[in-house]
Amino acid sequence: MSVQTVCLGWHWTPYRYTRTAVDQGDAPVAPFPDWLADLGRAAVAEAYGDPAAGAAYAPDAALINFYDEQAKMGMHQDKDERSDAPVVSLSIGDTCVFRFGNTENRNQPYTDIALRSGDLFVFGGPSRFAYHGVVRGTQPGTGDPATGMTTGRLNLTLRVTGMP
């Protein structure tokens, strides 16, 4: 993993969530904003074609990763949550190649998808625990200048931790 990460709601370090940034001097984690939860609910409702599924979605954590043109993230499963609620991923900035795989291992079959600025990707149901990653850095100069970003990519992943 060669990205820079900031968290909202809960702080994630490998294999656990905490309310303080334990690897960053124990600073308190910024709260998870209501507007971001609303975006997540709208994304789930649209992806599932079901307003009730969206209304039931209650994300309480966001991992915000910054990718530069060198950054990548190996194939992994998002399984540190105590919930099987969908993960909502929003891309802002430069395009990247996102590899979405199977639930059994990091090997094929998988699909490479170009995620562009503004793309929302929702994975839930049987795909909730699919292996996935960013296989190479961003494609410089492909982002929308309206974002205010001159380079790089922000990826916001919304999750339901299932934590009290």
Q: Which fold has domain 4-159?
A: Jelly Rolls (2.60.120)
Domain boundaries, the chain: 4-159
- Residue 1 pLDDT > 60: no
Per residue in 29-56, pLDDT tens?
999 999 999 999 999 999 999 999 999 9
The C-alpha atoms of residue 150 and residue 95 are separated, in whole angstroms, by: 13
> Per-residue pLDDT averaged across 44-70, rounded?
96
Query: In this structure, what are the phi and psi dihedrals at residue 55, rounded to the nearest 5 degrees?
Result: -65, -30
> Tokens 């294999």 map to which residue?
15
Closest CA to 85 of 46, 125, 117: 125
- Residue 137 pLDDT > 90: no
- Sign of CA pseudo-dihedral 67, 69, 70, 76: positive
- Residue 28 pLDDT > 90: yes
> Per-residue pLDDT averaged across 125-150, rounded?
93
- Can you give the pTM of this predicted structure? 0.93
